[in-house]
Amino acid sequence: MADPTKSPPLTRDSVIAAHALIKQYIHYTPVLTNATLTELASTPQSASALANTQWAGQEPAKPKIRLWFKCENLQKVGAFKVRGAFHALTRLVAEEGWEAGGGRGRGVVTHSSGNHAQALALAARTMGVPAHIVMPKISTPSKIAATKGYGAKIIFSGSTSTEREAVVEEVIKETGARLVPPYDHPDIMLGQGTLGIELQEQVARMIAEGGEGQPKCSFALKGHRGKRKGLDAIIAPCGGGGMLSGTAISCEGTGISVFGAEPSFEGADDCKRGVEQGKRIETVKTLTIADGLRTPVGAYPWSVIYERKLVRQMFSVTEDQIKKALRLVLERMKVVVEPSAVVGLATALFNEDFRQLIEQESGEEGWDLGIAFSGGNVSVEALGKMFEPPVAKAERQEGLVGVSGEKIAENVAGKKHQEKS
């Protein structure tokens, strides 16, 4: 990895410079709107929906929210990670003495559950550098296959960050490869922050050009168009914190608030808990369905999120809320995203603390809220299992549904026939 002490300062200007450096390698991903999801976000939740939550008995929030989705699921390799990977590797290749010292031949190494793995594999192939990728054994098969498809060498490890990092150290000893971490480095953070720069520009332009009644901005509120210049806030998922911290840096000095969203399952909301406790939580062990968010927040991102206070607040959502948000995106937007990508949307739809904050601060005018769809690397099989009916799931677990996908009825009939014979 390039020496972090020689990285550019963590400022908005540095994010803009990073964008100029990598824009030849990345897609300028679209920003989409959706009137149905915007209406749902602006509709109070029912008393029954809040009945079994910490907000039971409270008056439901009545925020006015206009949603803008930055579609990094349509980015190269299907995720925002390619931004940080290209920025970090471009700077590493340009490091004085790296080429002369045989750095290109030894290559680079990282650990990732899939998205950063694919991103670094693509960046390395583009720049002619060998890539060694340490992946948890439980990584999504499609992400493993894609990483191999970009020409990287895969080394498997356990699922925790501690287990991954131990294998990375072994690879470094054997090969002399340079580490390109998935999130805990200034160059990675600045690269990821470029999506924030694009999102700000795109929404401001769409508001200015769209106008009321136009497809680009069809949900503009009457009487307020003249006051609206762009985003009021962005909410982004947080795993290691590279994208969240980079986005926060990109918004510094703009007046745009930045919030983070995490799964609550099995302590996956380590950044939220760390902020509340005033101390970074360094280890996490969770099997949340948002598999891209299973890592603890890194030290460099933490310095931006907590110490510099560039992220206003962290929020968390349940597995069920993530699934509901994912279903809405699939069925209403017709866009394929992975579970990690919708934790921000789930927060806007279901977290009453966040919704009340918007209601209190925005009043009648409401907020233009940017949501980062971090990636779309999810297999059809995984989606099928996630949303299969409980009965079908029980039957599959009992071995009545084969991997070839035969109907349950046919399997049951065959089993009964075997019992009779």
- Contact in structure between 254 and 16 (CB atoms under 8 Å): no
Active-site entry in 64, 70, 81, 272? 81
How far is Cα 297 from Cα 303, in angstroms, rounded to an integer?
A: 10
How do strand 257-263 and strand 65-71 relate by DSSP bridges? unpaired
How do strand 178-179 and strand 233-237 relate by DSSP bridges? unpaired
Q: Which residues of 42-51 are buried (b: 16+ CB within 10 A; e: fewer)?
A: beebeeeebe
> Residue 13: CA atoms inside 13 Å, Cβ hemisphere, count?
2
- Residue 292 neighbours by CB distance under 10 Å: 29
Q: For 226, which DSSP code?
A: G
How far is Cα 88 from Cα 92, in angstroms, rounded to an integer?
A: 6
207 CB burial (10 A radius; 0-12, 13-18, 19+): buried
Q: Where are the alpha helices (DSSP H) in 303-400?
A: 319-328, 343-350, 352-362, 380-387, 390-397
Q: Which two tokens stand for residue 282?
A: 């360094």
The answer to whether 81 is a known catalytic residue is: yes
Q: Which two tokens stand for residue 159?
A: 């699922």
Which residues fall within 8 angstroms of residue 179, CB to CB, at 6 or more apart? Answer: 1, 108, 109, 110, 168, 172
Q: Which two tokens stand for residue 272?
A: 């939220």
The answer to whether 76 is a known catalytic residue is: no
- Contact in structure between 246 and 184 (CB atoms under 8 Å): no
How far is Cα 248 from Cα 110, in angstroms, rounded to an integer?
A: 24
Active-site entry in 14, 42, 112, 113? 113
**Active centre residues (catalytic):** 81, 113
